[in-house]
Structure 1
Amino acid sequence: MSKTRVVIVGGTGYLGQHLLRSFADNLQANFPLALAFTHRSIHPPKALLNAIPQALHFQVDLSTGDGLNAISDVFGQPDVVINCAALSVPRVCEMDPEAAMSINVPTTLVKWLSSFREDTLLIHLSTDQVYEGTKSFYKEEDETVPVNTYGKSKVEAEHYVSANCQNFAILRSSIIYGPQTLSPVPKSLPIQSMDSVLAKGEALDFFHDEFRCPVFVKDLVAVIQILTNQWISEAKQVQLILNVGGPDRLSRVQMAEAVAHVRGYNTSLIKPVSASSVDRGVKSPSDISMDITKLIQTIGISPTSYTEGVRLTLEAEDRS
């Protein structure tokens, strides 16, 4: 039986590392899979290489496409490509729109995929920030009217993928939270950050009027695994856009309160403030909560509640 070739673009990031670990577990379970990932820096983290030595790795610059041909030359044509790479900090995107567009719109990646004779499934990570944020529970067919450069770059990416790929799944992810990665990522993780501050007994401001549907990282990984398995087993054309959020619409205050309840911290440390009171250097949508009915019906997954996800995250941190 021939091996399924899976490439994770942006494999050293938060979601990328969780995906690598999950696919590597399939490898250990004698699943016929070949695994590779891309990284932008010269050397990927040693901790990641040591944990998943069976995965090939390639240095790739998505803005120019440099390094992509080496994947097909050495690894072979991939059956599935999962694109997690992005410039995803909205303030950074606002400061450098050109960089945001060159990295977040995967023109070089899609052109590389189009050079293959056989079809490859592209699973592309998008964001809830494609929505304007003026109502609750956006559906996939609602108009995308992003309010910042990051959202605009992701809408442009969705349009490009949809117009130029035969087989794709676009996943509009909300805030991703969960345990730390094999090689710790430099960015602040939401649950761990809240836990760290509250544990010190320090009062902190949290927004009470911005709403999201945070998604547990292992649920997002499961969605990607299911899409991959369906493609391999059925090979039917896939052209799909899905909201991928958790089941709860939450403000930052409510997110912090759940951490406090799980840990037993004093909730009076959580000070509600309006998002409009803080200048973050970028416009932020107020309510981009998402309707995930299509996700549940299409994938057959029941996303983890936020409180349960917080408990699982903190248990994992305590064990590490």
Structure 2
Amino acid sequence: MEKTKVLIVGGTGYLGQHLLQTFAGNNGGDRYDVAFTHHSSPLPRRLLDAFPQFPAFPVDLKSGLGLNSISQDFGQPDVVVNCAALSVPRACEQDPDSAMSINVPTSLVNWLSTFDRNKTLLIHISTDQVYEGVKSFYKEDDETVAVNVYGKSKVAAELLIKDKCQNFAILRSSIIFGPQTVSPLPKNLPVQWIDSSLKKGDTIDFFHDEYRCPIYVKDLVSITLRLIDRWVVSDDKQMQLVLNAGGPERLSRVQMAQVVAEVRGYDLSLIKHVSASSVDRGVVSPADISMDITKLIQTLKLSPTSFKDSVRLTL
């Protein structure tokens, strides 16, 4: 059987590394040829040591520099998973040009359009921040009215992909959390940050009036793999999907912290309830972008792990 060529764009990021880890495990080598792109150079030693079997390509998504060497050395991918993004909303607010040029994958989409048209599936990681945040449980066909630059760049990316790509799956991901990566990332991971903060025994402010559907990273990996496998076995090679990729619960930051405290046995009185409107974060944040994930569950026959179980698995 011919192996499926999978290219992970942004392989050094949080989701990217978890995908590489999964492909490196469970006999991925028998079924998939995997390569990844990175922007930061040099690559961390730990990453290279962990995945020596996966070729790494330096790529600048703003200009598309480096993409052609993938075609030459790795060949035309069957599936491209785009995890690359400038995903810190405040950073996007401060540098909207970079946010637009990285988060709207124009160079990547143009590169894909040079290939045999129906042979490549683009799985693109979008965000729940494409929604305005004025109601609960958004559905995929609700209007996308982003309130900050990050969300707007992701809306623009979705429009580009729908317009220019024949085959795609757009995953609107919520907060992604789970275990640390093989090569640890400099940014705080949500559950680990809550855990280490509460462990110190200090009272900490958490928002009680902002709602998301945080998703366990391994569920997002499973979703991606199911999409790839569905693509591989399909005869007609037709996929145009938009899916809300959130966890099964609508949670505020307070509720997330309470679950961590419960799992770890910390004092609940350390969790101070504050309103999101009381803090200036340098960026407008949508109040309630919880998502209805019925379509995800029905389409992929998969039910995401509960937040509490995911926190146990993470810690």
TM-score (norm 1): 0.96
Question: Please, which runs of 5 or more residues in structure 2 have no aligned partner?
Answer: none
The DSSP-based 3-state class of the residue aligned with 1:31 is: helix
CA-to-aligned-CA distance 1:169-205 (integer Å, 9 cap, x gap): 0000000000000000111100000000111101100
Shift of 1:52: 1.1
Residue number in structure 2 paired with 1:317: none
CA-to-aligned-CA distance 1:201-236 (integer Å, 9 cap, x gap): 011000000000000000000000000011111143
Corresponding position: 1:244 with 2:245: yes
Residue number in structure 1 paired with 2:303: 302
Corresponding position: 1:267 with 2:268: yes
Shift of 1:268: 0.2
The whole-number CA distance in structure 1 between the counterparts of 2:97 and 2:133 is 24
Q: Tell me the matched-pair count.
A: 313
The DSSP-based 3-state class of the residue aligned with 1:21 is: helix
- Does the CA-based 8 Å contact 2:22-2:28 persist in structure 1? no
Matches within 5 A, 1:98-177: 98-118=97-117, 119-177=119-177
Matches within 5 A, 1:156-305: 156-235=156-235, 236-305=237-306
Q: Which amino acid aligns with 2:247?
A: G
Shift of 1:30: 5.0
Residue number in structure 2 paired with 1:12: 12
CA-to-aligned-CA distance 1:135-163 (integer Å, 9 cap, x gap): 00000000000000000000000000000
CA-to-aligned-CA distance 1:255-278 (integer Å, 9 cap, x gap): 000000000000100000000000
Residue number in structure 2 paired with 1:311: 312
The whole-number CA distance in structure 2 between the counterparts of 1:225 and 1:44 is 25
The whole-number CA distance in structure 1 between the counterparts of 2:42 and 2:3 is 27
What percent of counterpart residues are identical? 68
Question: Please, which runs of 5 or more residues in structure 1 have no aligned partner?
Answer: 315-320
Q: Which amino acid aligns with 2:248?
A: P
CA-to-aligned-CA distance 1:105-126 (integer Å, 9 cap, x gap): 0000000001012520000000
The whole-number CA distance in structure 1 between the counterparts of 2:248 and 2:312 is 16
CA-atom RMSD in angstroms: 0.9
Q: Which amino acid aligns with 1:169?
A: A
The whole-number CA distance in structure 2 between the counterparts of 1:20 and 1:46 is 15
Q: Which amino acid aligns with 2:49?
A: N
Shift of 1:2: 2.0
TM-score (norm 2): 0.98
The whole-number CA distance in structure 2 between the counterparts of 1:43 and 1:307 is 37
